[in-house]
């Protein structure tokens, strides 16, 4: 499993985190994963997840963390 972690202020919200991973970035992540996996004789099952970390520095609340499986 490969994971892309994005951190944003809570004001921007989860949608902003996902939208900021452009198609070009998704292609780079796929290429990176396939380059790494090419080391193996057989490509093991894999996926690329996104972890969104939303911070609220104004209130000091605990970060909100969301895991989005197979997002890419």
pLDDT at 58: 78
Write out the chain's pLDDT in tens, 72 residues: 899 998 887 665 556 777 788 899 999 999 999 999 988 888 788 999 999 888 887 787 888 888 989 888
The first and second tokens of residue 3, run together, are 């994971």
Q: What is the pTM of this model?
A: 0.77
pLDDT at 3: 92
Q: DSSP characters for 2-49?
A: EEEEEEEETTTHHHHHHHTS-HHHHHHHHHHHHHHHTTSSSPPP--EE
pLDDT at 8: 81
pLDDT at 15: 63
Separation of CA 47 from chain center: 11
């Amino acid at each position: 499993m490969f994971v892309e972690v994005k951190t944003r202020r809570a004001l921007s919200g989860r949608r902003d985190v996902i939208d900021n991973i452009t198609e070009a970035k998704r292609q780079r992540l796929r290429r990176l994963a396939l380059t790494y996996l090419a080391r193996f004789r057989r490509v093991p099952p894999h996926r690329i997840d996104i972890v969104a970390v939303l911070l609220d520095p104004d209130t000091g609340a605990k970060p909100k963390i969301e895991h989005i499986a197979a997002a890419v």
